[in-house]
Structure 1
Amino acid sequence: MKKTVTALTLALGMLIPFTTFAKNNVVVVATGGTIAGAGASSTNSATYTAAKVPVDALLNAVPQIQNLANVTGVQAMQVASESITDKELLSLARQVNDLLKKPDVNGVVITHGTDTLEETAFFLNLVVHSDKPIVVVGSMRPGTALSADGPLNLYSAVALAADDSAKGKGTFVLMNDDIFSARDVTKAINIHTNAFASQWGALGSLIEGKTYWFRNTSKRHNKNSEFNIENIQGDSLPLVQIVYGSGNMLPDAYTAYAKAGAKAIIHAGTGNGSVANYIVPTLNQLQQQGVQIIRSSRVPQGFVLRNAEQPDDKYGWVVAHDLNPQKAKLLAALALTKTKDAKEIQRIFWDY
């Protein structure tokens, strides 16, 4: 909170100062999702319709947030997050960027469906040049459910966005009292409220409106990013697609995506991003045709080692490091707005 001396009162011949506390200004940008969902009854915690409740109703349901900050709301869109495309993602990033450029806005909270929440948060982490807090928040239960988690998550997200100590630490995901880095958080459970996790741990916790920090992220983000939403034109990104690794694969998915115009393919391989020996010729052929091949892993923890399992240097392939396939897809798309050189794309994956 910012302390400002507002008046001096003269009483009994003595000058007695008193103070008030100026609250920060936080904008809640609503996009839909479960946090804006409604079920048929209070016992429906897993079956419901997402993206029904408008932003004003969300804010009015948690009046306590006005004790944390001066909070206003913007309805950016109203959609279940699995239906978000490049068009919505880019539009949201531009809206958030424009809001944060305003001197009287101290932080932004984005309410979002949990299915692709991690992707939106990571994208904002890469393209919005601001050191002001950006907090992406959702819920696993609709607001109509018994023990709904959305109201407390929203309260905590506003508290984080209003906290000056959150400046410069990157874009956050706030769920279930945990503060995660947008870079390495992922949805790990699909029905429980402790749905989000990071193999590297939370950045901190937010309890009863107070922030507790434990670590920072070491990767490039926001103001330090070479990507900037202001330099991205149009409403689409270079096409990148994911192929899921398994036993007894066919090459058809890779070739079909290439024919559809994919500029890069994320191979969500087994183990260390492994590629079956009978698939290697197809990937090499595509790479020689200009399609970037990026080895990620379907395994939720660990990271892909370069030149392990496959001779990446020899083939001109890229490894996704510890980014999961869906985040590798976003970073690859952004990288392709700058370069088609595999070595430079690999450098970008190391940096971010």
Structure 2
Amino acid sequence: MGLWLSCVALSSADVRISVTNGAAACPCLGPAKHTPYTTMRRMTTRSTSGRPRIAVVGTGGTIAGAGNAADGAPSAAYTSAVTGADALIAGVPALARLADVQAEQLLQIDSADFTDAQLLLLARRVVALCVRDDVDGVVITHGTDTMEESAYFLHLTAHSAKPIVLTGAMRPGTALAADGPANLLHAVAVAAHPSSVGRGALVVMNEEVHSARDVAKVHAMRLDAFASPHGPLGLVVEGVPRWYRAVTRPHTTTSEFDIAAIDALPLVGVVTSHGNMRREIYDAWVAAGARAIVHAGFGGGTVPEYLKPVLAELCAAGVPIVRCSRVGAGPVIRNASFDDDAAGSVAADDQNPPRARLLAALALTRSQGVGEMQRIFNRY
């Protein structure tokens, strides 16, 4: 029998957690004050059932995908975004033990089709749900291709301490050993747990809990496709989140960006380094109206000698260059391999190209100054 949570409030700041499997509570966890891997914080008023109220927002993706399993086709041959959020929830009966779950279908698309318009729509809807007294947390079912981008955007713009959890699947529901049901169950378990409050947007995949600040998709097909350079924040163990790291950079309620004040995102281009590069790709972004360009450089953000004058020229023309690394881990240090001060460019610290694009766009909603953009990258 599966595990579920029972939460009993002791005071306004203390919650006792018991985990049961139909017989007896697990004594190894003990009361909150004896649980080293969690910080217990009380959430909003519970429903009459005593369970947390979790809103599940469907947006499509592989978790909502289906294929013809009878024809022996590989799991990679399927149609994304065909199963509704209600059906996903109905397929995981154990959810009813964890929370009172309500589903809504905001989008039904492949996450590769996400644009800034869908990002803004999603963030506004999530915040609208979070301000409700009858919602204790939000779970978003999402395609894995751009999940890390949606998660990071919510991490920076959704001003709520309530848990915001994204999950998806690497295999459609019709595949042998589909991972979507377990991922959804674990995502709701994390969103329903009081220790998840105030941790920013989270990604739950393959029993791991990652911060939106760090996580990236690093494999095209494996179930452990998501990873963070410094490891996950925690794990889902027997249906309960155990925390081992904390988020230190500002997010959600401490972020200076607020979706309520953002009508649109400025266009920011991304150019990934390779041998024999040409300046025309940068010029094309400028012609398209890009207000900044992310240069995903070699190693620590290295710029080839033949491109250094080009990037300096673009900065002088009012199109800031943000240097990050195409590697996916490790910091880009200001003025190390490239004279950022002389060129007027920005060093992105350890932000990968997709997150650097989003942070640069958000920075441009507040200021056109390169110094201000560098401050923002240093802070977030």
1:140-179 paired onto structure 2 within 5 Å: 140-179=170-209
- Choose from 73, 76, 86 the match for 1:46: 76
Letter in 2 for 1:286: L
How far apart are the structure 1 equivalents of 2:237 and 2:179? 14
In 2, the alpha carbon distance for the partners of 1:215 and 1:285 equals 42
- 2:57 aligns with 29
What is the alpha-carbon distance in structure 1 between the residues aligned to residue 298 and residue 93 of structure 2?
47
* CA distance in 1: counterparts of 2:314 and 2:340, whole angstroms: 14
State which of 308, 312, 318 in structure 1 corresponds to 2:336.
Answer: 308
Which residue number in structure 2 is paired with residue 226 of structure 1?
256
**Is 1:2 aligned to residue 7 of structure 2?**
yes
Residues 76-113 of structure 1: CA deviation (Å, up to 9, x unaligned) = 00000011011111001000000000011000000000
- For residue 153 of structure 1, what is the amino acid of its counterpart? N
Task: Write the distance in 2 (CA, Å) between the matches of 1:245 and 1:151.
Answer: 38
- How far apart in 2 are the matches of 1:301 and 1:228? 27
**2:119 is the alignment partner of 1:89:** yes
Measure, in 2, the Cα distance between the counterparts of 1:154 and 1:208.
14
CA distance in 2 between counterparts of 1:309 and 1:36 reads 45
In structure 2, the residue matched to 1:10 is none
SS at match of 2:376: helix
Q: Quote the Cα distance in structure 2 between the aligned partners of 1:220 and 1:47.
A: 40
Question: Do residues 59 (structure 1) and 89 (structure 2) align?
Answer: yes
Task: State the distance in 1 between where 2:8 and 2:244 align.
Answer: 26
Query: Does the residue aligned with 2:108 lie in a helix, a strand or coil?
Result: coil
Structure 1 gap ranges (5+): 6-19
Query: In the TM superposition, what is the alpha-carbon distance from 1:281 to its structure 2 partner?
Result: 1.4
CA–CA separation in structure 2 for the residues paired with 1:245 and 1:263: 20
Letter in 2 for 1:143: G
In 1, Cα distance between equivalents of 2:271 and 2:331 = 18
1:111 is matched with 141
For 1:138, give the aligned amino acid.
Answer: G
C-alpha contact 2:311 2:343 (8 A) present in aligned 1: no
Paired residues of 2:316 and 2:343 also in contact (CA < 8 A): no
- In 1, the alpha carbon distance for the partners of 2:9 and 2:339 equals 61
Contact 2:156/2:258 (8 A) holds in 1: yes
Stretch moving more, 93-102 or 282-291: 282-291
CA RMSD of aligned residues (A): 1.3
C-alpha distance after superposition, 1:139-159 (max 9, x if no partner): 000011110000000000000
Alignment map for 1:286-305 (pairs within 5 Å): 286-305=314-333
Residues in 2 aligned to 1:196 and 1:178: alpha-carbon distance in whole angstroms: 9
TM-fit CA distance, 1:187? 0.2
Distance 1:260 1:301 in 2: 29
Whole-angstrom distance in 2 between the partners of 1:164 and 1:104: 15
Structure 2: distance between partners of 1:109 and 1:51 = 17
5 Å-filtered alignment, 1:108-257, equals 108-233=138-263, 236-257=264-285
Q: C-alpha offsets along residues 192-215 of structure 1, whole Å, 9 cap, x if unaligned?
A: 100000011100001221111101
User: In 2, are the aligned partners of 1:3 and 1:21 still within 8 Å (CA)?
Assistant: no
User: What do the CA deviations read for 1:230-259 (whole angstroms, capped 9, x no partner)?
Assistant: 0112xx310001011111110000011011
Name the structure 1 match of 2:27: none
Asked whether the equivalents of residues 129 and 228 of structure 1 are also in contact (C-alpha less than 8 Å), the reply is yes
Deviation at 1:21, TM superposition (A): 6.7
Q: Distance in 2 between matches of 1:25 and 1:251?
A: 52
Distance in 1 between residues matched to 2:284 and 2:240, nearest whole Å: 51
The list of structure 1 runs, each at least 4 consecutive aligned residues, that deviate by more than 3 angstroms after superposition, is none
3-state SS of paired residue (2:209) = strand
Show the counterpart of 1:281: 309
Match of 2:371 in 1: 343
Size of the aligned set, in residue pairs, is 336
Paired residue for 2:359?
331
- Report if the CA contact (8 A) 1:4-1:22 is conserved: no
Tell me the secondary structure at the aligned position of residue 301 of structure 1.
coil
**Structure 1 residue 300: deviation in Å?**
1.7
Whether contact under 8 Å (2:272, 2:326) holds in the other structure is: yes
In structure 2, stretches of 5+ residues that fail to align are 1-5, 11-47
| Amino acid aligned to 1:254 | Y
